[in-house]
Every structure is written in structure tokens, then in C-alpha cells.
Amino acid sequence: MDSPETSKNNVTTTASTTTAATSSSESPPVQESPFFRFVNNLSPIKSAKASHLAQGFLGLSSPPLVFTSPRINSQSEAQFLKRPQFSQSHCVETSQGNNKSESFIDDPDISNKSASLLPGNVITDTQKDLVIKNDENTQHCSSSPRVDEYLVDPVDVDCMYTTHSVNPDVKQFNDAVESSQEESKDVDEPENIEDEITDVGGLSKECAKSERQQCRNSFSQDLQEYEDCGEMGPNSSICAENMKQDGSELMQACLKPRGMRRRCLQFEEAASNAFGNIKSSSLPLNTPEESRTSSRSSELRDLIAYGSKPSGIGLHLNSIVNAMPLAEGCMQKMKSVSSVSWQKVENMNKCLISSNMDGQSSVGAEDERREITATSESPSTMDPSNYLDHVEHPADVHYKRKLNPKEAGNFEEMSQSSPKRKKKKISATGEDDGCKRCNCKKSKCLKLYCDCFAAGIYCAETCSCQGCYNRPEYEDTVFETRQQIESRNPLAFAPKIVQRATDFPLNEMEDVHLTTPSSARHKRGCNCKRSLCLKKYCECYQANVGCSSACRCEGCKNAYGKKEDYIAIEHAFSKERLSGRVEKVSDGTFHNELEMVANNTDLLRGDLFDLHQLSPLTPSLQCSDQGKEAAKSRVLTGNYHPSSGSDVTVFTPHAKFAECPENPERSLVLQETNEMVGTDSGHWQLDSDNVEIMDQSSPRCTSVSNAGRFASMSNAPSRTMDASIPSKTREWTHHPQAQQSHGSSNILSGGSLRWRSSPITPMTRLGEIKNLECNESESRLFDILEDETPEVLKEASTPRESVKASSPNQKRVSPPKSLARELGSSSSVGLRSGRKFILKAVPSFPPLTPCIDSKGPSHENSGASNSKYSKQAPR
């Protein structure tokens, strides 16, 4: 901190002088750096920004320092974790060191502020600079209307998150351009700024496109990754430029620090991202920085491992519900994703996380698709325009929010005062592209009343909440609150909709009734009395799932499945199962039974894929029947098309989860991460939970599931997660890791395979999925059972399966092994049965990628839901 001040002084004194000179004085190397050259070459617009940047720099040492010290990252990372949402605004400016000096003079106060804001961590000059810049940016924004400027479209914010992953560069450029133009005005005219911003943004966009594209081309995928981590981070811009020229560690460092995404209550994501980035970057920064990171970083990790995830990802209805519609998009995404690196996947996940709430960002979904595909191919391909549109400036929001917590009231006022932004893209439904918005007034967004909070995400600018504490600034408060709520109800943040193992084999389903309720069900069920489960008042209906026996609704007419029908089907199905070996299995979870059935029916082998494929479809089908979503889901499923097409449609309910909502990408991604992992992980969780914790109903499950999700998300990430994941997650990770790795591999696997595998995967665990993919032959199952599951899983799995993950209360009925033996074609089968069971559950197409993943949450939930099932399931 000290250094920054000094630097500020220097800067201020030298402000008149060229930045280069100042920088040189402080850090000669910087001047020489290619970065400066690049900056110099930049368009005139830069200058304006530069001035702007200068403000940011005021406190900071010369920009060149930044280049010099890679360490910055560490701190930035730490901050990062805590404050996912930094504004990206001034980053560009900072990158343009030349101009900066000039601007510094403008706001010495700001610099001071920024300095004050800086975390207590001691930072090298360069680091300080970076950090300070970031902070300054944020502060500036908060203090001034600038934030608005950066906010192109509140709605887009979500998209931006997604987009960020793809091309942060664009944002940066845009921001820079905008900032340059607007800088002079920003402070004085906050209100006007917004309007201007939009206009300016458009202009700047056009102007900057060429440059952006160029820059883009230069940027490596790494940048993208970084972007993912820090959508906002002003650093991002800097980093981007730096990356271009130097591609040096600095870039990486800068990138890392980027703030977490706005909404990442699920710190996991942010953390995962950060970690993932670190890995990907392979920069040395990672470990040391992490170690350095303040207690907060550790806290964040804890959060990540712990509660954040559980609550976060796909658990919530929001994500689930929304995810449904865009199955197609998800599919495509999945495909694209397959090609895309895991990092991209993570990005998507991040996006999803943010979008979980809504899952509706249809536009965003498409954009994301494009982005993904484009990114997979090459970042350069991306259209800057898209970026611009999507790119948000979370920083803006955060800036505002970064204001003192005490200022929450003000904060509220601000948020309210600027309804324009929020309203700009807010849909009538209150959902942005993909992200939900809340309108909390009394809960401070710290209760489950708040959709954002319930979804494990931070409130966004688009939210109309008052006195919101669900913001990165109040991370601690949020975390504490979450813990409290979880202490009351460990599953409070668990996905409300669980994909119960109930996925009935198609055959059986057919036998019973096409109307069979999808496997996906609301964990707690609804309690509707007047809405007849035909309105969104009904959580089941809202989630596009049918009512189940868990529901206490009156006069249920849920279009997605009536409670009565569900019960009837369930009953019939259970009978069939019971007739078979299933009874022996007493383990009990519905899943097990189903699996058992499947095994008996030979579905697993011959039709295994089909089943898997179908299974995912099946859930959606119901929906499809009644709703649009179902249709979409079908589309997705169509790819897989299991043996029985018709049936598929029937069963689809899961698809909803797995499927992407309108914003499939985000939601999907999230879901994928969650669910992919989740579905798999969900089962995993169950297994893992059972393994590690038989008892737990507790939060651990959620955390575990989450962790699993992450791991599954990406191969590399999985590793990162392991390392990065806090203790809690780690516990669970042990088992999952292998799985995770598998899962990731699956995801990465070729698109075609993926799809297939994906369907399988859902059923099976990630590892299993791999096997399946590798071995398409019937033997796959066996292989999977044996090969896939890590020993731990195998052992654990059998018992686990017996135990219902979701239901803490539930106890092991019997060891699965015995059952498996009985079942079986072979003893292996017995084990398999458990696994097989998993396979069934998998139905969602986890491999497919994000979309499929959506199911994951259901799976996770499944644990909880399982309990219900167990109750319901006749045995």
C-alpha cells in the first residue's frame, strides 16, 4: 500500500509529464516493454482513457511496474476471490501506461481511495499498481457514475460473464474506448453518463472493433481463461494488452486478479476459475500467490468447498427451470464445448452459475454458443460487436456496491435510483438474459426469499433489491448467513429440483404410462392450494417438473405431471421392480431399484446407451408434452435418440435440468458443471457421501456435490479444484477426483462420442462415462463398472448406492455388493447394479456438456430427493 501512495505522489507531481517519463522514472523497464509500444500505437481514443486510467494509477506506481512484477497476481487473486466482481472499466487504461500519468492528476483522491481500498497485503510496487488499479477502478466507479458508463447493458452482464470467458479483450477495449470518451464527463454527470454510455459504447464499439479484433487475434486462449475468472476486473483489460505484447507473466497475474464474476456467490466458481486459470496459465504465480492470499482467500476457498457451491450451482429452481428451454442450444454448446478446452467449459460454468438463477438468457445462450464455438476455434473469430453487447461491466455494479456496507442504504438508493440500467434489459419476468434479478426489499437478499441468494449468486445490478447485502462486498456476511441457513437446513441451498433416480427405464415407462412423471421432481414438493400447480406460484410448475408424492398440493393439475399420475406410476414401477431382484437390493434408493430394473431388463447393456440417452430425455419429455421446454429437450435428446424415440419423449423430465434454459449456455454450463459433475457428481455425491459420510444429510453433501461438479467440469480444473478446494471439498474430492478426471475427459472427448457418452455418463459416473465412450460395445458397462469407478467408488459406491445420499435419515439397507451378486450376470454386475443404477440416473447427458449437466443438480438433489423416493418407492 505504501508504495502505491508514493507512486501516486510521483505521478501527481509528474502528471504533466508524459506517462512514459514517469513510468520510466519509476520503472524504466516498463517503458521499454512492448506493452507501451502497443499502447502508443493505440488509437487516439486511448489517450482519453489514458487520462482516465491515470486516475486509477494515481495512487499506483507507474504502470510499468506492473509489468515488472508478476507477483501482483497473487494479491489480486486474493482480492479476486473475495471480490469476484471487479469492474473491468479502467483496466484498459492502465494498460495504456503512457497516457495514464496525465490523467493521474485528475483524481488524486481516487488514488488515495484506491490505496485505502487495497487489501492489507503487502504488495510489490508492480503488484500494488495492479491491485490499486483495480481497486481504484472499482472505487472510482462506485464513487462516480462512471460505473454506468461501463455498463453497456445490464442484461448483458450475464452474457458478458459468459462472453468474458471467450474474449475479455473485447470488453477491455470497449471499456477503454468508452471510458476514454466518457471519462471527462463521468464524474460530473452520472445520470447522463448512462445514456451517453450506451451511445458512446456503440461508437466506441465500432471504432474499437478493428483494434479489438487485432488484439483478439493476438490474445491467446489463456486470456480467455483469465477473462472467465475476472469478467470485470479492470485488470483484465490491462492484462489483455499485456498479454498481447508481452504475453508475459504480468498478463497472467493481471488476469488472475480479475475479480470474480459478479454473481459468484458460489465462490467456487470464482475460485475454481482462478485456480483453473492459474493452472492453465501454468504461471508460477499460482501457488505462491495462493499461499500468500489473505485469510479471505482461504475463506473463499472454504466457501467454495463448502456451502457456496452447494447452494450455488444448479441446485436452484432457477437454474433448473430456465435451463429447460434451450436444450438445443445446449446441445450445440455441448458439441462446441467438446472441442473447447475445459477452461472454456469452466467459463461456461461460470456463466451458468450466474445464469443459474434464470437460465433464461436465451440470447445469451446463443451468443455463448457462438462464443464458445468461436473461441474453440479462435478467439479472433469472435465478433467484437457481440462482445460489446454482451460485455458487461460488472465492475459498475460492484463499484456501486463496493461502497461501504453501511452505505447499503445508499446503495439501495443508487440501485433504485438507476432503474434505467436495471430496467434496460430486464424482462417482464424480472429475468435478464440469463440471470435472475431479485426485487427484495426487506430481506436484504440474505434470505432464501431472494432468488439470487437462494441460487447462490450475488445480486447483480439488474436486481432491484434494496439494502442488498448479497454482494461481493459483503462476502463474509453472505457466507455467514448461508451457513446459518444451512445449519438450520443443510439442504436449504441444495437444488430444489432433484432428478430422482426415478428415471424409469423406457420399457418400464412404456409399460406403465407415458404420463409417468419425469425423474426430475421438486425435492420438497409444492404446497399449492389455489394455483392448482398451473402457475408459477407452484415451484414444481415453475421448474417445469411434475408434481410428485412429495407434494402436498391440492387439486394438482401440473401440466408437467400430476401428482396423482406420478404416484400411480411410481407405484406401478415399484411393483415391477420389486418383482425383480430389486427387492433384494433393498439399498434402496429409487435409483438402485431402477438400475436394478434396468439390469434385469437388459437395458443397461443392450440399451444402455439408449437408456441413458433416453433417460435424460425422458424427464424432459413430459415437459415437452406439455410445454415448450419439453420440445426443446426432445431436440436435444434427439441427438442421442435412444432406442425408443417415443419413449424418450415421454420420460424427459430430467432434460429440463440438464437442458439449458433459454440461456442454456449459462445455465447449462452451470448445470453442466454442477450437474455434469452433479449428475455424475450427484450420484457421486451420493456415493461419495455414503462412502465418506453415511450420515450426512448435511451440507457436506452439497459441498461435495459441488466440488464434484467442479472437478467434473474440467479436467484441469478438477485438479485445480482439488488443490484449491477447501478442506470440505477436498474430502469429497478424494473419491471424486478420479471420477472427475474421468468426467472431464469425457467432456473433452470428441463431440460425437461425447454425446453418446454424455447420455451414458449421466447414468454412470464420470469415470464410467469415459469407459462408455471408450467402449461403445456392450461390454462398456462392465468396463465401466470395473474400470470406471475408482476403487474407492466401487467399494463405496456399492454401499453408497444402498444409502441414499440425499436422505440423511436413510440408512443402508443392505450392501449393494450382495445385491449385485444376486443381480447379476455376475458379481461384477452386482456392483454394476449400483453403478448401473447410476447410469440410469445419469440420463441427463452430462457429457453433452453444460446442458446435460443441468441434470447434475438434480442428481445432487437426488440425494435429498432420494429420501423422498425411498419413502415413495415401494419396497
Minimum CB distance to DNA, residue 661 (Å): 12
**Spatial separation of the C-alpha atoms in residues 524 and 542, rounded to whole Å:** 14
Cβ nearer to DNA, comparing 191 with 791: 191
Strand residue runs (E) in 423-548: 497-499, 520-522
Helix, strand or coil, per DSSP, at residue 402: helix
What are the angstrom distances between the C-alpha of 472 and each of 108, 222, 625?
A: 26, 25, 41
Cβ nearer to DNA, comparing 71 with 524: 524
Residue 170 is classified by DSSP as H
Q: How many CA atoms lie within 13 A of 720 on its CB side?
A: 31
Minimum CB distance to DNA, residue 870 (Å): 15
List beta partners, residue 497. 522
Minimum CB distance to DNA, residue 421 (Å): 14
Minimum CB distance to DNA, residue 356 (Å): 14
Cβ nearer to DNA, comparing 445 with 669: 445
Minimum CB distance to DNA, residue 49 (Å): 34
Minimum CB distance to DNA, residue 155 (Å): 16
Residue 759 is classified by DSSP as H
**Spatial separation of the C-alpha atoms in residues 234 and 840, rounded to whole Å:** 45
Q: How many CA atoms lie within 13 A of 564 on its CB side?
A: 7
Cβ nearer to DNA, comparing 142 with 865: 865
**Spatial separation of the C-alpha atoms in residues 608 and 781, rounded to whole Å:** 8
Q: How many CA atoms lie within 13 A of 379 on its CB side?
A: 30
Minimum CB distance to DNA, residue 443 (Å): 3
CB 314 within 8 Å of CB 678: yes
What are the phi and psi torsion angles at 294 (to 5°)? -65, 175
**Spatial separation of the C-alpha atoms in residues 297 and 624, rounded to whole Å:** 44
Give residues in contact with DNA (CB under 7 A). 429-430, 437-445, 447-451, 454, 485, 488-489, 492, 496, 524, 526-532, 535-539, 542
Strand residue runs (E) in 58-182: none
Query: What's CA 491's distance to the chain center, in Å?
Result: 19
Cβ nearer to DNA, comparing 40 with 527: 527
Cβ nearer to DNA, comparing 82 with 524: 524
Minimum CB distance to DNA, residue 528 (Å): 3
**Spatial separation of the C-alpha atoms in residues 600 and 595, rounded to whole Å:** 8
CB 98 within 8 Å of CB 59: no
Cβ nearer to DNA, comparing 426 with 753: 426
DSSP 257-294: TSPPPTTTTSHHHHHHHHHHHHHHHT-TTHHHHHHHS-
Minimum CB distance to DNA, residue 423 (Å): 7
Minimum CB distance to DNA, residue 752 (Å): 37
CB 67 within 8 Å of CB 27: yes
Minimum CB distance to DNA, residue 521 (Å): 13
Minimum CB distance to DNA, residue 478 (Å): 13
**Spatial separation of the C-alpha atoms in residues 665 and 333, rounded to whole Å:** 7
Cβ nearer to DNA, comparing 529 with 575: 529
**Spatial separation of the C-alpha atoms in residues 116 and 369, rounded to whole Å:** 41
Residue 498 is classified by DSSP as E
Cβ nearer to DNA, comparing 406 with 530: 530
Strand residue runs (E) in 421-510: 497-499
Cβ nearer to DNA, comparing 21 with 448: 448
CB 145 within 8 Å of CB 166: no
Cβ nearer to DNA, comparing 15 with 526: 526
Cβ nearer to DNA, comparing 779 with 809: 809
**Spatial separation of the C-alpha atoms in residues 733 and 124, rounded to whole Å:** 35
